[in-house]
Each structure stands twice: as C-alpha cells, then as structure tokens.
C-alpha cells in the first residue's frame, strides 16, 4: 500500500512539474513575440546556399528564394 502511495505521489509531482514548465514556456514565447513586435526585428537563420530555398544573389547582395519569401510573408502577417 505504501508503494502505491509513493508511486502516485511521484506521478502527481511529475504532472505538476510538467504543467509549470509548459506554462513558463508559453510565457517566454509570448515575451519573445512582444519583443519582435516592439523592435520590429525578426531574425531568421538560413544556410543561404540551398537552391531554390535560399541563395545569395551576388549582384544585389541580398538573399532570395522560397525560405526568404515565406519569412517575408510571415512578417507581413505579424
């Protein structure tokens, strides 16, 4: 009987910890979105060498491709 109570106690503790961690992760994401919107800066990483997804146009010095188009669309929707 004591073993079952111990197992139940551990399960309740794990569930509580998981809930707390998920709530703090949501709060961090909300803060990150607010920071992006306030600063009007969205930083995105891309290798820049994988056609047709992202590549550097050497004449303009700017990146272009499907990934870049998608990020620009997401920014416009924000």
- pLDDT for res 35: 86
Q: Among 61, 38, 34, 30, which Cα is nearest to 48's?
A: 61
Higher pLDDT, residue 12 or 36: 36
Confidence (pLDDT) at 55: 93
- Contact between 67 and 60 under an 8 Å Cβ cutoff? The reply is no
Q: Quick check: 60 pLDDT over 90?
A: yes
Half-sphere exposure of 53 (CA within 13 A, CB side): 7
Higher pLDDT, 54 or 29: 54
pLDDT tens digits, residue range 40-53? 998 888 888 888 88
Q: What is the pLDDT of residue 23?
A: 60
pLDDT at 20 over 70: no
């Amino acid at each position: 009987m004591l073993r079952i109570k111990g197992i139940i106690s551990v399960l309740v503790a794990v569930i509580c910890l998981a809930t707390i961690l998920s709530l703090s992760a949501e709060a961090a994401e909300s803060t990150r979105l607010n920071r992006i919107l306030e600063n009007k800066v969205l930083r995105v990483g891309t290798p820049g060498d994988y056609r047709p997804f992202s590549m550097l146009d050497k004449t303009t010095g700017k990146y272009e491709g499907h990934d870049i188009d998608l990020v620009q669309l997401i920014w416009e929707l924000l």
